[in-house]
Amino acid sequence: MKTVLITGAAGFIGSHLCDRFLAEGYNVIGMDNQITGAMSNIEHLIPLKRFTFYHHDITNYIHVPGHIDYILHFASPASPTDYLRYPIQTLKVGALGTYNLLGLSRVKKSRILVASTSEVYGDPQVHPQAEDYWGNVNCVGPRGVYDEAKRYQEAITMAYHQAHGLETRIARIFNTYGPRMRTDDGRVMPTFINKALRQEPLCIYGDGEQTRSFCHIDDTVEAVYRLLLSDYCLPVNIGNDGEITINVLAGLILRYTGSSSQILYDDRRTDDPIRRKPDIRLAREVLKWQPVIPVEEGIQKTIRHFR
Ligand code: NAD
């Protein structure tokens, strides 16, 4: 039986990955310090024999006994609200946390997949963003703590691949949404849904014509699973290439919740990207994957969860 270590296991994506790998018959070791995650996301797994949980900050030395086949590194504050609240921890987990896990991969001879982000493209000047676009990041802007942590993470992961022949995978994940997101993480989807359900106003920053591409968690997990088992070591975009404006998103959420919340507009946030859409041709080709859950359906599923 194969063993996988998942960091960020108590978080939104990490907990869904734990579910998936357990369902596939793996032993799963979850690791998390719960800075932004919650045990409630994985409490259903605690009684399972094939699941072990370590409460550990991965920026400190990591010791795990026994063999590990795969490491999935998903630990990091991920929403702007979270990484602006924990700027140093965000840089540390991207840098020291990744360094520690690469060392562990070397010792255990494990393959490692790291969760990168579309934020490595910053406020992109090309559209849609393909993997060979180098990005437009303001390293000293507020988002720099996250963007640069992830850019460093990619760089050190490639360095270990090149210098030590480590088997590495890099997933550049675009906005993912679904059950187990926190209502207070500041991300637009859970924020709007919860405001709408409470009949409170939805606040749009800027004119609402900025676009986002939302990928349902089940599609993201499928892509991560396939990427891990592929033999492709350069970054791969994982996201939904259907692009919608924040105005349209707000309208859909009001419609599906049946809410009469008002829509209010406020100033655009610093360095908030105007357009964001993945080019997923590489994922289609290498992983034989594409998102299959339309955003309208995914929003309705997510609303049911939050209700
Ligand atoms: P999340 O905050 O729900 O989960 C992250 C988890 O990592 C949390 O449980 C947190 O407690 C844990 N963590 C943070 N620092 C840690 C440390 N030092 N030691 C141990 N655990 C630590 O966020 P998420 O949305 O599930 O994101 C997971 C990963 O996917 C992150 O690396 C994020 O950058 C990446 N990602 C997410 C999205 C998205 O749309 N959700 C998009 C791109 C990339």
Q: Ligand 1: does its nearest atom lie under 6 Å from the Cβ of 168?
A: no
Chosen CATH of 3-177+216-240+274-292 out of 3.40.50.300, 3.40.50.720, 3.40.50.1820, 3.40.605.10: 3.40.50.720
pLDDT digits (tens, 9 = 90+) for 197-213: 999 999 999 999 998 89
Atom of ligand 1 nearest to the CA of 175: 40
pLDDT, residue 271, reads 67
pLDDT digits (tens, 9 = 90+) for 174-196: 999 999 999 888 899 999 999 99
Q: How far is the CA of 149 from the centre of ligand 1 (A)?
A: 13
Q: Ligand 1: does its nearest atom lie under 6 Å from the Cβ of 32?
A: yes
pLDDT, residue 88, reads 98
29-to-53, 78, 93 alpha-carbon distances in Å: 6, 21, 18
Question: Active-site residue numbers?
Answer: 146
pLDDT, residue 269, reads 80
Residues of the chain whose pLDDT is less than 70?
Answer: 271
Q: Where are the domains of the chain?
A: 3-177+216-240+274-292
Q: How many CB atoms lie within 10 A of CB 207?
A: 11
Q: Is-contact 58 153, C-beta < 8 A?
A: no
Q: Ligand 1: does its nearest atom lie under 6 Å from the Cβ of 278?
A: no
Which pTM value belongs to this model? 0.96
